[in-house]
Amino acid sequence: MATAALHAHPARLRAANWLRTLAALAVLAGTVAFLMLLFGRTGERIALLMCVNVAAVVALAAFCGNTGIVSFGNGAFMALGAYLSGILTMPAALQRSALPDLPLWLAGHELALWGALPFVLLAGLAFALLTGSAISRLVGPSAAIATLGLLIIVHSIGVSAREFTRGSQTFYGVPRITELVYVLVAAMIFILIARLYRESRWGLFVRAVRDDEDAATALGISPRRARLVAWTLSGTLATVAGALYGHILGAFSPASFYLGLVFAHVVMMIVGGMSSVGGAVVGVVAVTLLQNAVRNLEGGITLGGISLPEVFGLTTVALGIAILLVIWLRPQGLVGGFELAPGADARLLERISGTARDAPAPRPVSTETLQARDLSKAFAGVQAVAGASFDVPAGRITGLIGPNGAGKSTLVNLITCQYTADAGSAEIGGTRLTGLARHRIIENRVARSFQNLRLFSGLTAFENVLVAALAAGYRRDQANAIALRELEAFDLADIAAMRAENLPYGARKRLEIARALAQDPAILLLDEPAAGMNPSETSDLADRLIRIREDRNIGILLIDHDLRFVNRLCSHIVVMNRGQKIAEGSPEEVRANTAVVEAYIGRGRAARAADTDPAQQKAIAT
């Protein structure tokens, strides 16, 4: 029964996704029908432009929504597509007069629209790869500025490359598309591609990077590559959308693809909500309807006896107001996180009980030992870690304790190459970790959690674990089953469809461990997993960790302040103070060590405690 439910589960999730995709398609088709019924020929023209805008904005959002970086580069790709497709399809006779200086290899092809499409696609792909190799290195505002730079450069080239584009003069003679159905189908295909990409391995990777780049990297995801994939897909789609747009206009100039168009597309994306494909569609629909309503006012209108004057630029003002209102009242856009609607998925997941028996069994862990040797790190004069050496063997929970600022977290960051070590190294099974790229640590089966929660807040609990299994190299079906198994193991299956940001604190802490375990590590580094938990949660976590060690023979490095918790779990404890290892041994040995006692309760009080105060001694001992 449990297994049957499980089999059905990923399929059900997919079904929910398809329903939402269908909803987006229905909104589009419904609006097209509405425009045509109400406004006839004019409505058809508006619908035509609306559909090509849907294609363009869905392309734009494939990058922006999934990376969280606003891009203005769409116009550059659209111009490339429009001019290239125009040149390739233009009647030869017309081309001789319009573009007399066109290089011979480009001239006189007179291709059909379909014939030009592969070349447009390839050109878009090549241009996206080229520009993406630089832009994918950037994040946040600097990435956005770089895309603006790209737009400006391509615009300037468009104006100056007269033999190809007629400069800033009108480029004419482009065969027109007047059939609405082609453009509508094209827009729908764009929506499907964007939806598939969003749920795909690379779509999940780049959304994880968007939410927390460091955590995604620690899972084995290369942020640069993930962004490059998003940029390349988005740019290629935008090039095709640009070609469509060019064929709808029939005549255009570089200005047709410049700030005016780009601004309108960014507004459409943000108004709808850039984090979902449905948002892009709704944004275009809403803004198109708004633009057309306002355009009627632009020429002056008489309302109930009062005549309003002509106002030029009113549509742009309306766009500006729309974006301000949305940012103010609904920062997530009109649609927001529609594609993540927790309610629907939660009901689906509720039906799953039992464990994920189909998940591939964890690979055996036998003799792997993580060895830290003389690791050192200084920050601007603070010696955070000074020559620390210790082992974390498989099958043992090794405690790492020490007062605040002792260097424990820095040590984990050194082992996982989050920081570069000044000296020393970390190795596992003879393979050197130190010096590896951060996203390659997991290849050596070392996984970690972070002291301050670093979940992918916009992803569901399920997706948080799924993305970890995918990043560790599992196939999609395996990763699905592994994610469910780990969610079950940490009592998170009921809330698997909730976004991580909405989970209660204890659940978030458990989710971070589940995520690390989904990568099938041999060694797991846990930085204060019990911090902030109440006593019953802490004891529950201890039970789970003990079970994991017993079941899978994993080696765990456990950092915590709570000595009771550490003593219960660890057979071996390493103690640090001020960057140095001051003691190591069994809990009893460590407890008896005077340096440890001093580090924990201070020199003077330690001496007194040893003499007189049995309660104080007991506090250290338990």
- Site string (222-261) toward ligand ADP, x via CB under 6 A: ----------------------------------------
Q: Which DSSP helix (H) or strand (E) runs through 247?
A: helix 223-249
Question: Sign of torsion, CA 153 158 161 164?
Answer: positive
How far CA 120 is from CA of 104, 132, 235, in Å, comes to 18, 17, 11
By beta-carbon proximity to Mg ion, the closer residue of 6 and 401 is 401
Q: Is 452 in the site for ligand ADP (CB under 6 A)?
A: no
Token pair 């749920």 is found at 199
By beta-carbon proximity to ligand ADP, the closer residue of 279 and 402 is 402
List the one residue out of 196, 191, 252 whose CA is nearest residue 56.
191
By beta-carbon proximity to Mg ion, the closer residue of 408 and 549 is 408
DSSP, collapsed to helix, strand or coil, labels residue 14 as helix
Scanning residues 132 to 171, which ones bind ligand ADP (CB under 6 A)?
none
Residue type, position 585, single letter: G
DSSP state at residue 364: P
Q: Is 449 in the site for ligand ADP (CB under 6 A)?
A: no
**Total of residues contacting Mg ion (CB under 5 A):** 3
How far CA 327 is from CA of 56, 64, 142, 148, 472, in Å, comes to 22, 16, 21, 21, 37
CA distance 48 to 119: 24
Q: Is 451 in the site for Mg ion (CB under 5 A)?
A: yes
The residue nearest Mg ion at its CB is 409
407 is in the binding site of which of Mg ion, ligand ADP, none (Cβ under 5 to 8 A by kind)? ligand ADP
402 is in the binding site of which of Mg ion, ligand ADP, none (Cβ under 5 to 8 A by kind)? ligand ADP
By beta-carbon proximity to Mg ion, the closer residue of 97 and 404 is 404
List the one residue out of 208, 220, 207 whose CA is nearest residue 416.
220
> Applying CB under 6 A, which part among 21-29, 262-270, 376-384, 427-435 lies near ligand ADP?
376-384
Q: Is 173 in the site for ligand ADP (CB under 6 A)?
A: no
Residues in the chain: 622
384 is in the binding site of which of Mg ion, ligand ADP, none (Cβ under 5 to 8 A by kind)? ligand ADP
DSSP secondary structure string, 525-549?
Answer: EEESTTTT--HHHHHHHHHHHHHHH
- Site string (389-428) toward ligand ADP, x via CB under 6 A: -------------x-xxxxxxx------------------
By beta-carbon proximity to ligand ADP, the closer residue of 202 and 565 is 565
Query: Residue-wise over 259-291: b if at least 16 C-beta within 10 A, else e?
Result: eebbbbbbbbbbbbbbbbbbbbbbbbbbbbebb
List the one residue out of 411, 401, 415, 407 whose CA is nearest residue 370.
415
CB of 392 to ligand ADP, least distance (A): 16
Question: Both ends of the chain: CA-CA distance in Å?
Answer: 45
Q: Which DSSP helix (H) or strand (E) runs through 574?
A: strand 572-577
Q: Is 409 in the site for Mg ion (CB under 5 A)?
A: yes
CB of 160 to ligand ADP, least distance (A): 47
CB of 451 to Mg ion, least distance (A): 5
By beta-carbon proximity to ligand ADP, the closer residue of 33 and 382 is 382
By beta-carbon proximity to ligand ADP, the closer residue of 310 and 374 is 374
By beta-carbon proximity to ligand ADP, the closer residue of 412 and 516 is 412
Contact yes or no for 371/428 (Cβ under 8 A): yes
Q: Is 52 in the site for ligand ADP (CB under 6 A)?
A: no
369 is in the binding site of which of ligand ADP, Mg ion, none (Cβ under 5 to 8 A by kind)? none
Q: CA angle 607-610-611, nearest 5°?
A: 90
> Applying CB under 5 A, which part among 6-14, 54-62, 339-347, 451-459 lies near Mg ion?
451-459
Q: Which of 185, 321, 382, 607 binds ligand ADP (CB under 6 A)?
A: 382
- Site string (470-499) toward ligand ADP, x via CB under 6 A: ------------------------------
State residue 345 phi and psi, 5-degree precision: -70, -35
416 is in the binding site of which of ligand ADP, Mg ion, none (Cβ under 5 to 8 A by kind)? none
Residue type, position 571, single letter: S
379 is in the binding site of which of Mg ion, ligand ADP, none (Cβ under 5 to 8 A by kind)? ligand ADP
For 540, other C-beta atoms within 10 Å of its C-beta total 17
Q: Which of 24, 116, 280, 384 binds ligand ADP (CB under 6 A)?
A: 384
CB of 378 to ligand ADP, least distance (A): 9
DSSP, collapsed to helix, strand or coil, labels residue 385 as strand
CA distance 342 to 498: 5
Instruction: Return residues touching ligand ADP (CB under 6 A).
Output: 379, 382, 384, 402, 404-410
